[in-house]
A and B are shown apart, each in its own frame.
Chain A
Amino acid sequence: MRPNIVVTKAGPRKTTRMRRLAKSPVMLNWMYLPALLLFAVFIYYPFFRGLLISFTDWDGYSQMFHYIGIDNYKRMLSDSRVHTVIINTLIYGLGSTLFQNIIGLLYALLLNKHGKGRTFVRVIVYIPAIVSPIIMGYIWYFLLQYNGGAINDIITAFAGHPVNLLGDPKVNVWIIMVVNTYQFLGVAMMIFLSGLQGISKDYYEAAEIDGASTMNRFFNITFPLLAPALTTSIILNLIGGLKLFDVIAALTNGGPGYASASLSTMMYQLYFARQDAGLAASLGNLMFLLITVISLTSLYFLRRKELSQ
């Protein structure tokens, strides 16, 4: 009997102590540790290594390298191809974000209403987002290719000859932007749909009683109350567009030369093919800076516009 008494006396005391410990801020801070460790190993360490490599002439595989100061950054900023690639990256990032959000919002507004086939259409619009971007790139390559591409077959039927759409740097950059927009506008649509469904019907009823037109209701109720969804969608699309890689690799491989390359594809080619890891790392840091500045600036302005319901 004695051991039983000990157990019943010690049990509640231990449990209480455990509960208190679990609720204490110290314990909560310890819980962050695994996540912090993973962050340190997979994010912070590579980031600082990348920063370090950008000051070297490392070829990407040898055990030997030299520190060369800011030479890679000087080369990067004076290289006209890098200027083209920065402009391309901005087109992919800002262009895709603009169109994904405008078309995504239109789809969301259309599909927010009750109607036949609404779910079916939502699925159709969202399907491209679940396809791997590299596969999406190849699908569009087969549509656009010079010999036997479906779109070029149509062009040939009207113009009498195919057009090298993917080989022309004045066109292929925009095609890549359109493909990226097409693929991920379903994501924007879903974000807006969830935002729209969170807006209370009372606002619309009140506005209707006051005689507000459809446009008035959209700009004075829907749009302001969608601001949080807009912020999420814009930031997600911006980051995705500025990091664009797979679609470019499948459609043009960044070519001709680096004419349609993004910072990501150029960085990859400089590191592996050109064995210029130092310059590739500088480009990586530039991309980090670009994404951070654009995202934070957007976030700052969008947050200011947000209204709480």
Chain B
Amino acid sequence: MKKSAFWFMTLAMLLVIFSGCSSRPDGGSSSASGGDNAETGSGKIGSGKAKTTLSMMINISDESLTKAYREIVDGFTKENPDISVNLQFDSNGYENTMKVKMAANDLPDIFDTHGWAKIRYGEYLADLRDEPWASQLTDTIRNVVTDEKGKVYALVLTEAKDGMLYNVDMLEKYGIEVPRTFDELVAAGEKIKKESGGKTIPFYLSGIDDSTIGQYLDQFANPLLITAKNNEADALLKGTFDWSHITPLAQSLLTLKEKGLINEDVLTAKRSDLPAAFAAEKVTFALVGPAFMDSVHEIAPNMKIGLMPLPSMVAGDEPTFAGGERNTLAVWKDSKHLDEAKKLLQYFAKPENMAKLSNVSKNPPGLKDIKTNHELTPYYEKYAQVRVFPYFDRVYLPNGMWDVLCKNGTELLAGRMTPEQFSESMKTEVERLSKK
């Protein structure tokens, strides 16, 4: 008895160790965009004789994009041998690292503001209004990085023009036109699911990386509340918004789940498995930035991925894009090397460098008159007249609400919160954060 118990317990320990080693995530390769241990390409660039070293932190890990940054910085240090640049790339821990650096009031000379130049980083940034490129900021981005006093917070290398990425061949295969309204989107999803025999579930969200759920709520908040003629923009800005009006947004997410249009394992799926699922034609639509395309093409090089604007949610309204900062460079106001930092920004703002970053990232450039040519260029041209609205949370929600969106959305999908409770929680948190 003792002997058998001994071997049973040994076997149990061994079984778990080895089965853990041999198990695999479904679908094989994960995101090519780096992950925690990706080769980041961080390091010092420039001559050893340089008198000044600029510190620079960038919020990306995508290999092709980090290479482009390095090449540009390399060109700059060759032109300016007195200056070297300590270039650091990070994406997973970037926000937290920057928050700690802000709390310590010890920031890099140049850094990426990733959508928060004014609201979060504003008090730490130098005014760049007198820089030669400042007047060239595009019409869609100028107000995003400029305040009412005219202070320019950042050089926008590329701006976001986000809608939904979709599998072009799949829509053609099932004879589906690009949806223009939310109802058409739901109908398209139902058709795809039915005709694929359940092999394809149109939408993929991740409860563990709950920013995908926050992204859905944030991007569809504009079509529901902002983009239509009769909209709630003023009420939101004045603080008189009736928060029950956001309930349909929560309901729309729940509808997708109830109709089985979101991956069944939504609460425990990982964001890093999305490219593999998309490449395997298990997913049709993705609410992600264009960098996602490279991850998919590593697995399915010939897959045609298209970009569509966000479908409207109010009768009579038109589809729109969500926009804002994507890749930016800002200068710490207390930097000891302000002039050198501004010089580097001027170098980045050269048309050939702007075009290079735009082509690699597949995002529109943040300065005017930059010629680009990449996979999404035809789509940006096709939808050139489609209106671009800033991300909902960056304009209408106080700083700190992003996590509330993500967590509440997850609770909603888990059945731990009703759409009405979602709205109530939004109201409470907005009031709390607005008092600060």
Contacts and interface: CB of A to CB of B under 8 A. Distances in A.
Asked if A and B bind, the verdict is yes
A269 B410 CA distance: 14
Given A110-B6, A124-B10, A257-B407, A143 B19 contact: yes
B39 interface: no
Contacts of A147: 26-27, 265, 269
Contacts of A257: 407-408, 410-411, 414, 416-417
Interface in A49-101: 57, 59-63, 66
Given A59-B399, A149-B23, A164-B265, A272 B17 contact: no
Interface stretch (A13-21, A204-212, A248-256): A248-256
B189 interface: no
Interface string B396-436: 00011011101110110110110000000000000000011
B5 interface: yes
Interface in B254-279: 264-269
B25 A167 contact: no
Contact of B103 (A60, A115, A167, A258): A60
Contacts of B16: 143, 182
- Measured as residues with beta carbon below 8 angstroms from the partner, the interface class of chain B is 35 or more
A143 B414 contact: no
B19 A150 contact: yes
B399 A167 contact: no
Interface stretch (B94-102, B167-175, B292-300, B305-313): B94-102
Contact of B99 (A252, A255, A258, A272): A272
B9 A167 contact: no
B399 A275 contact: yes
Most buried by A among B26, B123, B408, B436: B436
A63 B436 contact: no
Interface in A151-176: 164, 166-167, 169
B20 A256 contact: no
Contact of B265 (A63, A124, A146): A146
Contacts of A121: 6, 10
A140 interface: yes
A6 to B, nearest CB: 54
Chain B residues touching A, majority SS = helix
B413 to A, nearest CB: 7
A102 interface: no
B413 A256 contact: yes
A148 B123 CA distance: 48
Given A145-B268, A166-B267, A255-B267, A124 B20 contact: no
A166 B5 contact: no
A59 B436 contact: yes
B130 to A, nearest CB: 25
Contacts of A149: 23
A139 B21 contact: yes
Most buried by A among B6, B26, B105: B6
A127 interface: yes
Contacts of A125: 9-10, 13
A167 B414 contact: yes
Contacts of A145: 25-26, 265, 268
A274 interface: yes
B267 A140 contact: no
Contacts of B223: none
Contact of B402 (A127, A139, A273): A273
Nearest to B99: A61
Given A61-B102, A257-B411, A148 B399 contact: no
Contacts of A63: 105, 123
A258 B402 CA distance: 15
Contacts of B96: 272
B268 A258 contact: no
Contact of A276 (B23, B25, B210, B400): B400
A128 interface: yes
Contacts of A164: 264-265, 267-268
Nearest to B414: A256
A260 B269 CA distance: 16
Most buried by B among A61, A111, A125, A127: A61
B103 A61 contact: yes
Interface in B79-136: 95-96, 98-100, 102-103, 105, 120, 123
Interface string A233-276: 00000000000000000001101111100000000010011111
B14 interface: yes
Contacts of A275: 99, 399-400, 403
Given A59-B400, A169-B414, A272 B95 contact: yes
B191 to A, nearest CB: 23
Interface in B1-18: 2, 5-6, 9-10, 13-14, 16-17
Contacts of B51: none
Contacts of A66: 436
A71 to B, nearest CB: 10
A259 B416 contact: yes
A170 to B, nearest CB: 11
Contacts of B9: 106-107, 110, 125
Contacts of A276: 400
Contact of A110 (B5, B99, B120, B435): B5
B207 interface: yes
Interface of B: 2, 5-6, 9-10, 13-14, 16-17, 19-27, 95-96, 98-100, 102-103, 105, 120, 123, 207-210, 264-269, 399-400, 402-404, 406-408, 410-411, 413-414, 416-417, 435-436
Interface of A: 57, 59-63, 66, 106-107, 110-111, 115, 117, 121, 124-125, 127-128, 139-140, 142-143, 145-150, 164, 166-167, 169, 182, 252-253, 255-259, 269, 272-276
Given A60-B103, A147-B265, A275-B99, 5 more contacts: A110-B6, A145-B26, A257-B408, A257-B417, A272-B95
17 contacts: A59-B436, A60-B103, A117-B10, A124-B10, A142-B25, A143-B19, A148-B25, A149-B23, A150-B19, A164-B268, A167-B207, A255-B407, A256-B414, A257-B411, A269-B403, A273-B403, A274-B404
- Ranked 9 nearest A-B pairs via Cβ: A167-B267, A256-B414, A146-B265, A139-B20, A148-B26, A273-B403, A257-B411, A61-B102, A275-B400
